């Protein structure tokens, strides 16, 4: 069982959305200090000030987590103050949400950089200290989009497929010699935050309530769950896709559950 009590917690993309909710809940479970990394300096400053005013111990760093040099430099700064980050939550993510041919090269680079490379960069910076102590917990917020194809989010889905493969492979590799380092891979469908404004949820897969879903994440961390897939139909995706011919799976996903039309109404938000 993992506990937040007296732990140092770092969350990327933690100034708003589910990142902020997870940070608040970690603090309410008596985390000793919360470190927020975010690229939006204005929201970061405001969030840190509000949490500190509530009596919590919180610090913030403006970091572009897709930039390896920035991650390395800021991690060194963090580790000069705290010998270890006990609980690391790779949460930062972006989506463009339009047809692939309409993406710019910058859109593609940014999506892959934030969603796939950033968890690698951030984890690499903090993992050695965890390995030295054989202690720590790494949580990566990936996506159900990493389990199934979906039009309208081609680079996003690709980046999440990569993130899932990385997270699961890293868990196996690290736990060979460091069994006390825990990993949790979180694979949700659409969450009701500004990031997915306008989406039409697939049939029988309601949009996840951010507050209730982050409660699930916190409980999964405490229970050392390896994976969290939500809602329940996400748990069937890998099995169904692995056992049906592609044309059958496409029919079920498209015509039965309307997965492939879910992004047709997407509006989203400006990714800061």
271: Cβ–Cβ under 8 A, 6 or more apart, which residues?
A: 94, 95, 96, 110
User: Alpha carbon of 58 to those of 43, 136, 172: distances in Å?
Assistant: 14, 19, 32
Does residue 156 have an active-site annotation? yes
Continuous segment of H or E residues that includes residue 163? helix 154-175
* DSSP letter string, 186-226: EEES-BSSGGGTT--PPTT-PPBPHHHHHHHHHHHHHTT-S
For residue 78, report the phi and psi dihedrals to the nearest 5 degrees. Answer: -60, -45
d(CA 8, CA 82): 8
Per annotation, catalytic residue among 121, 156, 190, 260: 156
* Strand ordering across the sheet containing 136-141: 58-62, 33-38, 8-12, 87-90, 136-141, 181-188, 227-230
Backbone conformation region of residue 152, classed left if phi is above 0, alpha if psi is from -120 to 50, else beta: left
User: Alpha carbon of 69 to those of 16, 122, 123: distances in Å?
Assistant: 24, 11, 14
Catalytic residues: 156
């Amino acid at each position: 069982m993992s506990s937040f009590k007296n732990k140092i917690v770092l969350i990327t993309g933690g100034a708003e959305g589910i990142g902020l909710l997870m940070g608040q809940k970690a603090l309410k479970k008596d985390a000793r200090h919360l470190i927020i990394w975010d690229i939006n300096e204005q929201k970061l400053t405001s969030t840190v000030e509000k949490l500190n005013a509530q009596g919590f111990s919180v610090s913030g760093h403006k970091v572009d987590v897709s930039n390896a040099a920035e991650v390395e430099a800021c991690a060194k700064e963090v580790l000069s103050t705290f010998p270890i980050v006990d609980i690391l939550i790779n949460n930062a993510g972006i989506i463009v949400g339009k047809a692939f041919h309409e993406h710019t090269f910058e859109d593609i680079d940014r999506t892959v950089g934030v969603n796939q490379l950033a968890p690698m960069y951030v984890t690499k910076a903090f993992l050695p200290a965890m390995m030295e102590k054989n202690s720590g917990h790494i949580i990566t917020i990936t996506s159900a989009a990493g389990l199934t194809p979906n039009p309208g989010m081609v680079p996003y889905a690709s980046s999440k497929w990569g993130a899932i493969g990385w997270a699961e492979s890293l868990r196996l590799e690290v736990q060979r010699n460091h069994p006390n380092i825990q990993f949790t891979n979180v694979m949700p469908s659409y969450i009701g935050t500004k990031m997915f404004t306008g989406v039409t949820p697939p049939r029988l897969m309601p949009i996840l309530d951010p507050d209730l879903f982050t409660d699930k994440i916190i409980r999964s961390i405490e229970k050392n769950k390896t994976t969290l897939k939500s809602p329940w139909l996400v748990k069937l995706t890998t099995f169904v896709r692995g056992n049906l011919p592609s044309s059958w799976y496409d029919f079920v996903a498209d015509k039965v559950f309307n997965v492939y039309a879910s992004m047709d109404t997407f509006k989203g938000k400006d990714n800061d």
